[in-house]
Each structure stands twice: as structure tokens, then as C-alpha cells.
Copies of this chain bind each other. A is one copy, B any other.
Amino acid sequence: MITAVQSLDHTPRHAISEVAAVSGLTAHTLRWYERIGLLDPVDRSHSGQRRYCDADLSRLAFLGKLRLTGMSVADMLRYVELARAGDQTMEARRELLVAHREEVRQKIADLHATLAVLDYKIDIYSGKKHSA
């Protein structure tokens, strides 16, 4: 889950390989997310290597969840840009999340329907002789 937002450490200290390991994204994808603006420019070490802070990890975890549910990168970008624009976009962000929540609920319903069909088919394969 997500930890309390206001207590996040902004000390830059996680190397890209480390972040790749915990986020499930590849280093390639992390750089790409930053390039397209999903992540703010990440802090660098004196030699230019990325050092992610806990706030980055937290945003990444949230984006990862959105991504898992099938939100497009374009929509994620829209959300992030709203967040960057400041407090006056809070209502818009809320609406975006509410709309997405509806989609997720719908998707869950669809999956349950499919599950029923799969159960039915598997029963046929397990017990009887008819197939399609």
C-alpha cells in the first residue's frame, strides 16, 4: 500500500537497478518514463547517475498500479501533469481517478463473467465428452 504522503524522504539514494528490482519495471522503462515526463527529472549523483528518492518510489508504485489496471501511459501522463500544475487541479485529478475506478470495476465484472465461462468449459473437459 502507500505510506503517509507527507512523510516521504526526499534524499536521493536509490540506484536505477535497485528501483528496477522493487518496482518491477526495467531500467529501460524507468528511463523512458522519465523521458516522456511521467517522472520528474530524477536527481543525479556527482557522476551523473540517477538517484531516486522515496517520493519517486512512491509515485512509481502508484503509477505501477494504474498501469496494471490497464490505464494508458497517455492517461497516466495526463494525471501527472495535472499534479504538477498544482492544487487548483485537484478536482480534475479526482474526477480522473473516479472515472478510472469505474473502469476497473467494470473490468472486474468482465473477468468474473469470463471466469464463469472458463469454469463451465473446464467442467466439460473434466467430466463429459462434448467440446467446442
- For A125, the chain B residues whose CB sits under 8 A away are 90-91, 93-94, 97
Q: Which of A14-22, A29-37, A39-47, A110-118 contacts B (4 or more CB under 8 A)?
A: A110-118
- The reply to whether the CB of A105 lies closer than 8 angstroms to some CB of chain B is yes
Q: Taking the full assembly, how many copies of this chain does it contain? A: 2
Is A13 part of the binding interface, using a Cβ–Cβ cutoff of 8 Å?
A: no
The A interface is mostly helix, strand or loop, or mixed, namely helix
Q: Fill in one digit per residue for A90-124: 1 if any B CB lies within 8 Å of its CB, else 0.
A: 11011001101100110110111111111111101
Residues A65-79 near B (CB distance < 8 A): 65-66, 68-69
Residues on the B chain within 8 Å of A107, using CB: 111
* A2 and B101 form a contact (CB under 8 A): no
Binding site for B on A (CB under 8 A): 1-2, 5-6, 55, 58-59, 62, 65-66, 68-69, 83, 87, 90-91, 93-94, 97-98, 100-101, 104-105, 107-108, 110-122, 124-126, 130-132
